[in-house]
Amino acid sequence: MSTTGVHGPVTYNPYAYDMHEDPYPTYARMRAEAPVYRSEEFDFWALSRHEDVLGAFRNVDTYSNAWGVSLDPAAFSPEAHRTMSFLALDPPKHTRMRSLVGKGFTPSKVNAMADRIREITLEHLQPALDRGSFDFVEDFAGKVPMDVISELVGVPVADRAELRRLADLVLHRDDGVFDVPAEGMAAALDLVVYYQAMVDERRTSRRDDLTSALIDAEIDGDRLTDEEIVAFLFLMVVAGNETTTKLLANAWYWGWRNPDERAKPFADPSRVADWAEETLRFDTSSQMLLRVTRQSVELHGTTIAEGERVLLLAGSANRDDSVFADPDHYDLDRDTSKLVSFGSGRHFCMGAPLARLEARIALHELVTRVAEYDVDPDGIQRVHSINVRGLAALPTTVVLR
């Protein structure tokens, strides 16, 4: 079912390539005309208004994660936690898993990585800047988050490019394909096998890394199983790495598109945090997450029955004009405190502090070295994924300070 407005029916297909190019006009119509949207074709409901998305994130009694957060048939399963860790668990299993992981993945451990994140940033940034022209994604934004995650969990330098390639395959969707393609399934299996081997090795020889810390994490005698550790590592490389790559490239892209706003952090590097936060609001990497209703719920006069699939459109919520004035304007001076890019409540993204730290460090190193930059619009390529929005190629030319 679609809802008919003054411009005809509102139609939302998260697989459509034109939706990946620009979903925001459709989101605006959904908020106005179909806030509880129904897709018979793909069997889901979708919530697009900020109050509804935020409410659903916080209401774990009504909205379940137990079947995962992806609409893809191959990923939508009661076994989704095997690759998506606590992202696909409800309390109390979610509480237990998150508490144990939190023993190893601590805020202090994240903050202690700041200097190393800066070193990794410069390892990739300086050669790119020296060339003057480079692909912002391939040569920089795609490498830094993968190296940071790999450094954290203990993946050797020689393996990192291959893990990034596999993570990209897991997320990519061909036009007209409404599921995880065979290449993506094979890549997911390769990642699981790789991380299992790494866990096996750490069980015999601990190192100063997160994988070893997860093996040793314990609460009242309760420990993580190999399967649980591998699932968390898989989640880190797919969700943590990819979304931060997209955040960096989206910031660079929208800065290029909005020179007056771009000028603010380039004139005052302390504004890079505002640049990152407004990018998270304006064009968030993680556009939507799936839930399944545990009981019926009524919203805006429409009843969603128990057992229904519901998409929470974070990308739309962040453009809701009832919360953000002039939401389609990219404005680094706005209050972004109500963005929902990292979820909310018990499922608030555990990796948010790391993503924000990486983005602020990377953008700071850029603005202190680059005087101005340009992007070749003919070379821009967009990622095609139902959950993640971002750029696959962003050809850049820089003028150094």
Each residue's pLDDT tens digit, 307-340: 999 999 999 999 999 999 999 999 999 999 999 9
pLDDT band at 1; cut points 50, 70, 90: very low
**Domain total for the chain?**
1
User: Is the confidence at residue 138, as pLDDT, over 50?
Assistant: yes
pLDDT at residue number 2: 45
What is the predicted pLDDT for the residue at 3? Answer: 52
Q: What is the DSSP string of 160-174?
A: HHHHHHHHHHHH---
Q: Is pLDDT above 70 for 391? A: yes
CA distances from 277 to 321, 322, 324, 333 (A): 17, 19, 13, 10
Task: Provide the H-helix boundaries in 205-351.
Answer: 210-216, 226-235, 241-257, 259-267, 272-282, 314-317
Asked if pLDDT for residue 238 goes beyond 90, the answer is no
Residue from 343, 390, 287, 386 nearest 73 by CA: 386
In the predicted model, is pLDDT for residue 6 greater than 90?
no
**pLDDT tens across 83-116, in order?**
888 889 999 999 999 999 988 888 888 888 999 9
Checking if the pLDDT of 117 tops 70, the result is yes
Q: Which domain holds residue 330?
A: 4-400
pLDDT tens digits along 19-78: 999 999 999 999 999 999 999 999 999 999 999 999 999 999 999 999 999 898 878 999
- Statement: residue 374 has pLDDT above 70: yes
Burial class (CB in 10 A: 0-12, 13-18, 19+), 264: buried
Is the pLDDT higher at 369 or at 80? Answer: 369
Q: What is the CATH number of the domain that holds 94?
A: 1.10.630.10
Question: Residue 81: which of 99, 67, 62 has the closest Cα?
Answer: 67
pTM across the whole model: 0.92
247, burial (CB in 10 Å: exposed 0-12, middle 13-18, buried 19+):
buried
